[in-house]
Structure formats: C-alpha cells, structure tokens
Amino acid sequence: MRTRRPAVLVATVAAALMLTGCSGVGGADVPSPSRSQDALKGTVTVLAAASLAQVYGQLATEFEKLHPKVTITQSFGGSSALATQIVQGAPADLFATANEVTMKPVTDAGLTDQTPIVYATNVLTLIVPPSNPAKVTTVGDLANPAVKVALCDKAVPCGSAAVTLLAAEHLRVTPVTLEQDVTAVLTKVELDEVDAGLVYVTDATTAGNKVTQIAIPDAANVINRYPIALLKNSSNKAAARAFEQFILSTTGLAALKRAGFGTP
C-alpha cells in the first residue's frame, strides 16, 4: 500500500530532513518547539518493548503537548513478537526493542530507515512479593526447588538475559513458568503467585512498593542494550523522526534515567 506513494514518501523524507535540520541522530540537544516543527501533524505509530511502556507513555504525552497536531499511538509487547509483526507488514513508524538481537530480523529484512541507535541500557534485578514468602535474599536462592520462580521465555530479551545470568552464576533453576513478556513476570510477582522473578530493574522501579527489589551484583549482570529505529514504511516520517529525536534528547534521556535505565 505504502509503496504506491513514492512521491509522498520523498516529500515527507525531505520535510523530515528540513525539520530536524539534517541532524545526525543521537544528538543530546533538546529539540525546542520551534515554529517550523509546528507543521508536524498526523499519527505516529510506535511499537516498543514492554519494558519501555512507562517512559514512552510519559514522553508521548509531553511530545503531544509540544506538537498538538501529532498523535502518538503506541503498542507495547515482547520485542520479538513486535519484530515479527513488522516483518509481516504491520504499519508502524518507529520500532524500539529491548535488545539488539530482536531488532536484527527487522534490519535484516531491510525495513529500517536508519542504522538502529542504541540509547539506553537495562539490567536484570531480582524481585519478590513484599511479604517475601520464600525468604529469598540472593539470586542463588532461585536454585532452591521450593522457591517458585517466574522467568521470561528465552524467546524474549528478558528471558535470554535471564538464561545468560543464571548460567554465569552456575545456577540450575527450574521456573514454574516461562512468560511471554517481562510485564507478565512482574504481574505474577505482584499478585504474590510466585516467590521470585527476574525482571528489568526499570520494571521493578515502575512497580514501586508492590514488589521488593533485590539487587544483583553488577559483575554478574547481563546488560541489555536498547536500540530504536525509524521504519522504512513509515507514512509519517517527519513526525516519527521528531519523536525519535525527542526520546534521544536530554529530556528523553533524563526520563529514561529516572525510570532506571542506564546509558550505553
């Protein structure tokens, strides 16, 4: 559908370049809501990793205040599921995953409009329900068969990170469930249905006092690097690029930092 409108695409790309001042992406300046950017309008569809839901939600609201004619529509889920959707032709403008592996199928299919930019990192943390029913104190306790553990399935980034972490610690863990995304693990701990789970430190931060966090020593931890990329089939590249710039701006990076993300 989109390929039938090359003229429109060229025009929007040109507009995008003009609006962003041809900037190399990844810059740290705050994009001031200059008059020229008020020309931005339409909908920007963002597909992003479940762990980004909170921050991207906030940033979208702020962005829409700066550019009232733009509506940001976001869909959050497991990075690999989203990647599959894009490869299968889901219409989207921006794609942000929770690691580089899950971004790869999309870049391999030639569907990104730029080299993905890594702008944030995330590490795993151990969470337990506030009552800590199984008296978990370290990652080592996860190997205890009496402790009910929820992990992400290894198909999604939080799961592959968990596998790497547990292997590095030489722990044999038999979880009761392997969830389809990180939010599902968080929910199971919040509801007190499992004794412990491995989630991103950012999810634990978001959950506040609904879960108790037990930090994992840095040396042992796995660092997930978060890439974002504009998509080739975007039908609103000007606004999409502007929102990407906003995420990569000092405002965006500060919000990410508050949520617990690290810098690459």
Partner 1 sequence: MIAWLAIALLVLPLLGILLSAPWPQLPGLLLAPETLQALGLSLGTGAISTLLCLILGVPLAVIMARSVAWSVLPRRLLRAAVTIPLVLPPVVGGLALLLLLGRSGILGRYLAQLGITLPFTTGAVVIAQTFVAMPFLVFAVEGALRGADRRVELAAASLGASPFRVFRTVTIPLVAPGIAAGAVLCFARALGEFGATITFAGSYPGITRTLPIASYLASQTNLNQSIALALVLLAVSVVVLLSLRDRWLPGVRG
DSSP state of 5: -
Query: CA dist 99 to 95, 123, 177, 258, Å?
Result: 12, 11, 22, 20
Beta-carbon-side half-sphere exposure of residue 160 (alpha carbons within 13 Å): 14
227 binds partner 1 (CB under 8 A): no
164 binds partner 1 (CB under 8 A): no
153 binds partner 1 (CB under 8 A): yes
Would you give the end-to-end CA distance of the chain in angstroms? Answer: 37
Nearby residues of 88 by Cβ (< 8 Å), 6 or more positions away: none
Nearest distance from C-beta of residue 145 to partner 1, angstroms = 14
As beta bridge partners, residue 196 has 149
Site string for partner 1, 174-193 (x = CB under 8 A): -xxxxxx---x---x--xxx
Candidates 7-15, 22-30, 153-161, 233-241; binding stretch for partner 1 (CB under 8 A): 153-161
157 binds partner 1 (CB under 8 A): no
Site string for partner 1, 51-90 (x = CB under 8 A): ---------------------------x-xx-xx------
Closer Cβ to partner 1, 156 or 240, answer by number: 156
* Whole-angstrom distance, CA of residue 106 vs CA of residue 246: 22
Query: Residue 57 region, left (φ>0) first, then alpha (ψ -120 to 50), else beta?
Result: alpha
Closer Cβ to partner 1, 70 or 83, answer by number: 83
For binding to partner 1 (CB under 8 A), which residues are involved?
Answer: 78, 80-81, 83-84, 148, 150, 153, 155-156, 175-180, 184, 188, 191-194
